[in-house]
Chain A
């Protein structure tokens, strides 16, 4: 492939042959090329689409202001990981080896992030987005960053809110049967028992289930004060919330942290009214970059702005910040990593600080569904 130097030479030669081209005198700088690897097809396709939209809207905002580091535009290349680790790995290889991208955004699902990080390990700046599994950043790769709070960080915050604000006397769990769903059950059983809430039981449903009446009939018969639902997938979540009401359950419903989005609210009808969740993203946040992004997003897409979309935007902002701090070279990986780990990164969801292992300290807010809107609950 052509190196950047050859490309620059070619661009210079081109500029010489067309003496009248442009009035700006200096040649256009090459763009910063970012690979966005996400589930563009399969069951996670909707989440992938939201993430991509969020990232594209942020790219548009940054490019409209002239790009990064004095005029370098950002170019986003999209790859489909189909929500599967194998496809995630091959997409990352394609992005690095064939398309020679500068940086990577990926890791919407934990399983994909966990295997993809071994391919990108210490080779290229990689930002993992929505995956919550603690192991993604635990092993501390040089160039790896993760935006979402880990499930431990989420549960620490959310369990406090459940104990102090929602205050059910007893609780039952409806969790998806995977690593994350089981981890959630362990975390919350420990944390909620700790503040005196009785755990009456749990059900694990399968990731392929479409009907949940059997499980919910069992949970209803436990007569718990509240049912906690741990569902990532929007379509399964919406069915569960509706069916909880349809089984005639009249207790409180608590939605897992980080999985509340406008589509879920729309699909669930009235079933989510007054339901609590925790989310790093709220539309009424105060970050300066939030408003232009929201405007751009609403202008370009028909979906409502969501946490997943905000993560896409945040990933682009993080990388742009890194390039800026490294003086405009997207390949100065050591400089970029050092800058991201030592400075505060302003994003749509507030200021991020990355740990030495690349884990962001995402601020989390308690939210509630009121009149089909996700609003933040402030004290």
Chain B
């Protein structure tokens, strides 16, 4: 076996996997804290990429600033979506919420097609075509950035949930919403910033992955699919689970595609879900209800 190719495939897999982790973290937060399965999560990823594109081309800002603005704007849109759809429905049946999120996904995706046009676009980044040689492995600066920025964002999210006052309120809400409300925690506020955090992360991943591929209004489908595979594998509501499952999925896809067949790459994710659900029905890292 050619070691150079092997190392390259592992590196490809880790970068792709880290992007999955970033998408899945928001998805798992919303589920873990609010018990909401948000099918529209991928659309916030799409919006993140598009807003980065438009801020870059229309306002002429540089890529990093555009990505940051996009994350903030989409976090705001997340709050709006929560206020208009998920908060009013919080006492309804889970299926009602799930179907509403599906409706929201279709609305945003088709609205995007009308607003942004059907033609594919490319998010310009100064790092996209600059190649870095790390030993025998070749990566573009952008792909290194995807990995590094995701690591920073995940550490920040972890510290936030673990140590900040808001994070503690989130964990309390995850464990028992009624109990949390009784102790004086503002559940409405927890809803709002959980959505802001989740959608901001989705947008950040869209902004980071954008320059490595082309963007078009239906890329959200891809994002939410990968996100769900990772979340189910890692355990619904588990942030550490999402981290390991995402990286694992990325590497296994890349090795499977590289050494078995590319045709199987898509199937690998689904096969892994089945295997995990048979072996550990609550996901790899799931123990009990709550946010971990």
Say whether A associates with B: yes
Among A48, A211, A269, contact of B16 (Cβ-Cβ < 8 Å)? A211
Among B4, B128, B138, B257, contact of A214 (Cβ-Cβ < 8 Å)? B257
Binary per-residue interface labels of chain B (228-246) against chain A in the complex, 1 for a CB within 8 Å, 0 otherwise: 0000000000000000000
Assess the B213–A211 pair: CB atoms within 8 A: yes
With A221-B4, A221-B5 as contacts: A43 and B218 at CB distance below 8 Å:
yes
Assess the B263–A217 pair: CB atoms within 8 A: no
Asked if B173 is at the interface of the complex by the 8 Å CB criterion, the answer is no
Assess the B129–A246 pair: CB atoms within 8 A: yes
Chain A residues in 8 Å Cβ range of B263: 177, 204, 206
Q: Which of B106-134 contact A (CB under 8 A)?
A: 113, 118-122, 128-129, 131, 133
Binary per-residue interface labels of chain A (208-235) against chain B in the complex, 1 for a CB within 8 Å, 0 otherwise: 1111011101100100000000000011
Assess the B120–A267 pair: CB atoms within 8 A: yes
Asked if A203 is at the interface of the complex by the 8 Å CB criterion, the answer is yes
Among B8, B212, B216, B265, contact of A217 (Cβ-Cβ < 8 Å)? B8
Secondary structure of the A side of the interface? helix
Assess the A214–B253 pair: CB atoms within 8 A: yes
Complex Cα distance A246/B216, Å? 21
- Chain B residue at minimum C-beta to C-beta distance from A205: B262
Q: Which of B207-233 contact A (CB under 8 A)?
A: 212-216, 218-219, 222
Binary per-residue interface labels of chain A (252-267) against chain B in the complex, 1 for a CB within 8 Å, 0 otherwise: 0000000000010001
Assess the A245–B129 pair: CB atoms within 8 A: yes
Instruction: Give the A interface residue count (CB, 8 A).
Output: 39
Chain A residues in 8 Å Cβ range of B216: 43, 46, 235
Assess the B9–A263 pair: CB atoms within 8 A: no
Least distance between A36 CB and chain B CB atoms (Å)? 16
Assess the A238–B5 pair: CB atoms within 8 A: no
Assess the B265–A239 pair: CB atoms within 8 A: no
Least distance between B250 CB and chain A CB atoms (Å)? 10
Assess the B140–A215 pair: CB atoms within 8 A: no
Among B128, B212, B262, contact of A203 (Cβ-Cβ < 8 Å)? B262
Chain B residues in 8 Å Cβ range of A235: 120, 213-216
Least distance between B258 CB and chain A CB atoms (Å)? 5
Assess the B119–A214 pair: CB atoms within 8 A: no
Instruction: Give the B interface residue count (CB, 8 A).
Output: 36
Asked if B94 is at the interface of the complex by the 8 Å CB criterion, the answer is no
Assess the A242–B120 pair: CB atoms within 8 A: no
Complex Cα distance A303/B120, Å? 12
Q: Which of B1-53 contact A (CB under 8 A)?
A: 2, 4-5, 8-9, 12-13, 16
Complex Cα distance A269/B126, Å? 12
Assess the A221–B2 pair: CB atoms within 8 A: yes
Assess the B122–A214 pair: CB atoms within 8 A: no
**Max chain B CB contacts within 10 Å: which of A48, A213, A234, A243?**
A213
Binary per-residue interface labels of chain B (247-267) against chain A in the complex, 1 for a CB within 8 Å, 0 otherwise: 000000110011000110110
Assess the A208–B266 pair: CB atoms within 8 A: yes
Assess the A41–B258 pair: CB atoms within 8 A: no
Chain B residues in 8 Å Cβ range of A236: 214
Complex Cα distance A42/B206, Å? 20
Complex Cα distance A236/B120, Å? 9
Assess the A248–B129 pair: CB atoms within 8 A: no
Chain B residues in 8 Å Cβ range of A170: none
Assess the A208–B222 pair: CB atoms within 8 A: yes
Complex Cα distance A203/B258, Å? 10
Among A205, A206, A214, A270, contact of B9 (Cβ-Cβ < 8 Å)? A214
Assess the B2–A210 pair: CB atoms within 8 A: no
Assess the B9–A217 pair: CB atoms within 8 A: yes
Least distance between A209 CB and chain B CB atoms (Å)? 7
Complex Cα distance A218/B215, Å? 25
Asked if A115 is at the interface of the complex by the 8 Å CB criterion, the answer is no
Chain B residues in 8 Å Cβ range of A46: 118-120, 216
Complex Cα distance A205/B258, Å? 12
Chain B residues in 8 Å Cβ range of A242: 128-129
Chain B residues in 8 Å Cβ range of A218: 5, 258
Q: Please, could you name 8 A-B residue pairs with CB atoms under 8 Å apart, sorted by A?
A: A42-B218, A45-B118, A214-B12, A217-B5, A234-B214, A235-B120, A246-B140, A263-B120
Binding site for B on A (CB under 8 A): 41-43, 45-46, 48-49, 177, 203-206, 208-211, 213-215, 217-218, 221, 234-236, 238-239, 242-243, 245-248, 263, 267, 269-271, 303
Beyond the given pairs A46-B216, A217-B258, A242-B128, 4 more chain A to chain B contacts, judged by CB atoms under 8 angstroms and listed by A's residue number, are A45-B118, A209-B265, A213-B254, A214-B257
